[in-house]
Structure 1
Amino acid sequence: MAEQYDVIVLGSGPGGYVAAIRAAQLGLKTAIVERELLGGICLNWGCIPTKALLRSAEIFHYMQHAKDYGLVAKGIEADLEAVVKRSRGVAKQLNAGVTHLMKKNKIAVHMGTGTLTGPTSLTVKGDKGEEKLTARHVIVATGARARDLPFAPADGKRVWTYRHAMTPPEMPTKLLVIGSGAIGIEFASFYSDMGAEVTVVEMLDRVVPVEDADVSAFLEKALAKQGMTIKTGAGVEELKVGASGVSAKIKAKDGKVESAEFSHVIVAVGIVPNTENIGLEKLGVKLDRGFIQIDPYGRTGVKGLWAIGDCVPGPWLAHKASHEGVTTVEAIAQELGNKDVHPHPLDRNNIPGCTYCRPQIASVGLTAAKAKEAGYTVKAGTFPFIGNGKAIALGEAEGFVKTVFDAKTGELLGAHMIGAEVTEMIQGFVVGKTLETTEAELMNSIFPHPTISESMHESVLGAYGRALHI
């Protein structure tokens, strides 16, 4: 006889495990199904371990520039094996943390490959053989995987995805990174700081193309100054993998095709949702390029079946998946008669984006260009870190904060930052947008001194011609 639950979550990434915890908090009998590791890609092979790698590279960079701070450090070397070992240790610790959270919240964990046999039933094939589970509601949170190049699939030796790049068999000497989104740029930054000669190829006309154009331009100059070669408006037309390296044909923006040799290649050209072979087709679930189509609360259109995270439309970010998980579970609880929950649909304009390269990038809401396209009359203010005392004292005076407002109402439409620790500062503007703030509240807020966050205040003042320190 099948085991019965109120909610079954298929996938235990940051969307799935958070959804399961919230379901348990609401008194629902909950199970989670995972085929590999609790915590999913983010905790084990994505967000967290990459930040551990980047932190090691950052420390290495500072040690190499100790004299800039009046210090002497000699014989500085990087031990790639030890750096990777630390990163894997961080991932293992967090995986154990999620395991603890499942036990604490009395969530049943079924390890194995789950396949839907109906909207609210599935089988799990794992070490225990085949288990049959049923629920009143099922949430699909199966995530996504790296997209391969059709002419050069990743082999883990010379051509890598992000997963290979996190546990490299050897240190690249000359690295080609295809794609300049967050994943591509973060690994380009890591390997460059670790000593590799890095080339980044981006098909669009600028790096990190989803960001504000001023941020893209600033980052390209910063990366070039660090020694990277940046090719925008370019594409890789061919990769030939050999025993000791990779030959690439790169078509430049002027149409010329150049050949170049690299020791390794990282492919970061997007993701593919993990929605094949899990039973969706037979259920009539609507898909678009493999992504499950949902309403603002996660409903798929098939009664009892919901979806969240990287297997649904983007942005494909861990914190967006977690937020969706809570919203969807509360909508399920509401359907089951809980009158104390009041879920709100996801507002994609309030989802922050962070890229942990050096310098860091963070943003939320509309860029100035997108705001104008949407019909707004825009007021925008930019404040450079060179005008901020804390940034100068830290030796991190490269960067800026840019804010975008509706000139008619004063509504904060967007905020865009590049520089040291901006990924920690962006939440101030996220809270502001969620509270529907205007320039008046931000101007009247007192920012602590000395902090880099004062640049946030100055950018708001600057949008209205009132900046004090520039």
Structure 2
Amino acid sequence: MTKHEFLIIGSGPGGYIAAIRAAQLGYDVAIVEQENTLGGICLNWGCIPTKSLLQSASIYHNIRKADIFGITIKDVKFDFNKVIERSRNVVEKLSNGISVLMKKNNIKVYHGTAKLLGNSTVKITDLSNKTINITSTYIILATGSKAKSIPGIDFDNNIIWNAKNAMIPDKLPESLLIIGSGAIGVEFASFYNTFGTQVTMVELKDNILPLEDHEISECMHNILSNKGIKIHTKSSITKLEKFNNYAKIQVSDRIHLQVDKIILAAGVQPNSNNIGLENTQIKTDSAGFIITDQYCYTNEPGVYAIGDVAGPPCLAHKASHEAVLCVESIAVKENKITNSQYKVHSINKNNIPSCIFSIPQIASVGLTENQAQNQGYTTKIGKFNANCSGKAVAIDETEGFVKVIIDKSTGELLGAHMIGAEVTEMINGYVIGKQVEATDQDIISSIFPHPTLSEMIHEAVLSSDNSSLNS
């Protein structure tokens, strides 16, 4: 029977990072991927291709307002097929890069499905349906998640799309309904709206982007509405009829729509079925996420879980961080490394940033204003609008703001929330601040370069102290 020291199931941003880190520490490592290509959903059908698509949309958006900058461009056109083609080329390049990394680190790659058999054994069924049993001292489950369906609304790869379908359409739909208004829904709304599709969004909760701070949600609602996107909150689909190339929908018994396509973006569910959990002592919660401790250990000795399958937030960077944490915690126990050397510590989920690459972008870390108040904090709020930023005015990106929530008694940064140009790059300033437990005064006393968008990080904290210098 084949044996490895580490066997990683899944090659997404959790799995392939875990494999590389284990190999770096001198372990014999193998990884199992059920698809032909490495990288998981994130690289192949999630984070990466959507960023390519949205970059095309952003460039088209900016070209159409070039006259503001004194540049005249006549008859601006786009080739939608090339937009899609470029995104797939980006994916291929990066997936090939992971294959190179596997070879560089001497990691054995199995393509097939994996099932736990118990007793540190995994059955792999390859793409030609041949099976092999492998034993491994350490098994890391990094199987990710998949799109969640809604009763009565099933994906059909024709009228009702999942995110994958929405990334490789045959043509640009004239009309589109998006069910759900989280990160995925809002990103696709921005993309398709920019290229001229009539977009309607339906959200069950009171606001779009229900996980974001209420001011971010309200601001984005107004921006999307001004772009012509129709938004129905506190609403659900009460009737759906599909025809050959369109669908008729009734929303909360009061609104009737006819659309070419529907994107179901109602969240994700873990890939914890059909991987043999029943053959182990592993426990899951009511939603099917695998229960782990702070170092990603499950109830089954020698089996660990990281990333989406181990619970929210379902973010690629959380998966990658858990991958390193999990492998290094094992290495510390085996005295391969010392804890003082690598400072292995559990993840504080309040310090995990969230990014939405819509137009404009959204980014956040930590508590929202309402969460902070509900947890009993006495807070002071700082806010700085982009239209007061010299750099934002110069580049004509004046929509949005930066908002901070500060503990009034200690100066601790409880949360930060941004909407506007390049905020997904700016949020790391606050992420590092939270990680090192910087106070408001630490940030205030820091010098930010001028003129930059990052000055808004500084000004928002100054605002919480009633000392903003430019607003």
Matched, 1:169 2:150: no
Q: Which whole-Å CA distance do the structure 1 matches of 2:382 and 2:75 have between them?
A: 44
Aligned partner of 2:309 among 308, 311, 314: 311
Provide Cα deviations, 1:412-441, integer angstroms capped at 9, x if missing partner. Answer: 111000000000000010000000000111
Per mean C-alpha deviation after superposition, the further-off stretch among 206-215 and 110-119 is 110-119
Aligned residue for 1:189?
Answer: 190
Match of 2:400? 399
Asked if residue 79 in structure 1 is aligned to residue 93 in structure 2, the reply is: no
Distance of 2:428 and 2:120 partners within structure 1: 37
Contact preservation (8 Å) 1:119, 1:138: no
Give the TM-score, by structure 1 length.
0.97
Native 8 Å contact 2:116 2:279 kept in 1: no
Q: Are the aligned partners of 1:119 and 1:305 in contact in 2 as well (CA < 8 Å)?
A: no
Q: Is the 8 A contact 1:352 1:426 kept in 2?
A: yes
Shift of 1:339: 4.2
Tell me how far apart the structure 2 counterparts of residues 120 and 402 of structure 1 sit (CA, whole Å): 49
The aligned amino acid for 1:156 is N
SS of 2:427's partner is helix
2:256 corresponds to: 259
Where does 1:369-448 land on structure 2 (aligned, <5 Å)? 369-448=370-449
Letter in 2 for 1:239: L
SS of the residue aligned with 1:165?
A: helix
Cα deviations by residue, 1:135-177 (Å, 9 ceiling, x for unpaired): 1110000001111222121111111010100001221111100
Q: Which amino acid aligns with 2:266?
A: V
Consecutive unaligned residues of structure 1, counting only runs of 5 or more, are none
Aligned to 2:453: 452
Which residue does the alignment assign to 1:291? 289
- Distance in 1 (CA, whole Å) between partners of 2:255 and 2:337 is 64
Q: Deviations over 1:30-74 (max 9, x none)?
A: 110001021100011100000000000111111222212211111
| Aligned residue runs from structure 1 range 197-208, under 5 A | 197-208=198-209
Mapped partners of 2:458, 2:164: distance in 1: 39
Counterparts of 1:148 and 1:367, CA distance in 2 = 28
Partner of 1:59: 59
Tell me the equivalent position of 1:272. Answer: 269
- For 1:41-52, what aligned pairs fall within 5 Å after superposition? 41-52=41-52
Residue 179 (structure 1) shift: 0.3
Contact kept? 1:327, 1:345, Cα under 8 Å: yes
- Could you tell me which residue of structure 2 aligns to residue 321 of structure 1? 319
1:362 to 2:371 alignment: no
Amino acid at match of 2:10: G
Q: Which residue of 2 aligns with 1:20?
A: 19
Q: 2:269 is paired with a residue of what secondary structure?
A: strand
Q: Which residue of 2 is the match for residue 156 of structure 1?
A: 157
Deviation per CA, 1:306-344, whole angstroms, max 9, x where unpaired?
Answer: 001111110000000000111111112123232424421
Change (3 A) 1:8 1:188: same
Instruction: State the match for 2:217 in structure 1.
Output: 216
Q: Check the 8 A contact 2:367/2:416 in 1, yes or no.
A: yes
Distance 2:2 2:182 in 1: 43
Match of 2:34 in 1: 35
| Cα displacement (A) at 1:181 | 0.4
Cα distance between partner residues in 2 of 1:317 and 1:88: 21
1:117 is matched with 117
SS of the aligned residue for 1:362 comes to: strand
8 A contact 1:119–1:302 mirrored in 2: no
Distance 1:452 1:398 in 2: 12
SS at match of 1:211: coil
Shift of 1:290: 1.2
Please say if residues 154 and 160 of structure 2, whose CA atoms lie closer than 8 Å, have aligned partners that are also in contact: yes
Identity between Structure 1 and Structure 2 (%)? 46
Tell me which stretches of 4 or more aligned residues in structure 1 moved more than 3 Å: none
The answer for the alignment partner of 2:2 in structure 1 is 3
The farther-off stretch of 460-469 and 328-337 is 328-337
Corresponding position of 2:470: 469
Match of 2:102 in 1: 102
Distance 1:141 1:151 in 2: 30
Q: Distance in 2 between matches of 1:182 and 1:339?
A: 38
Give RMSD over aligned pairs: 1.0
5+ residue gaps in structure 2? none
**Distance between the aligned counterparts of 1:244 and 1:433, measured in 2?**
50
Deviates more, 1:378-387 or 1:70-79: 70-79
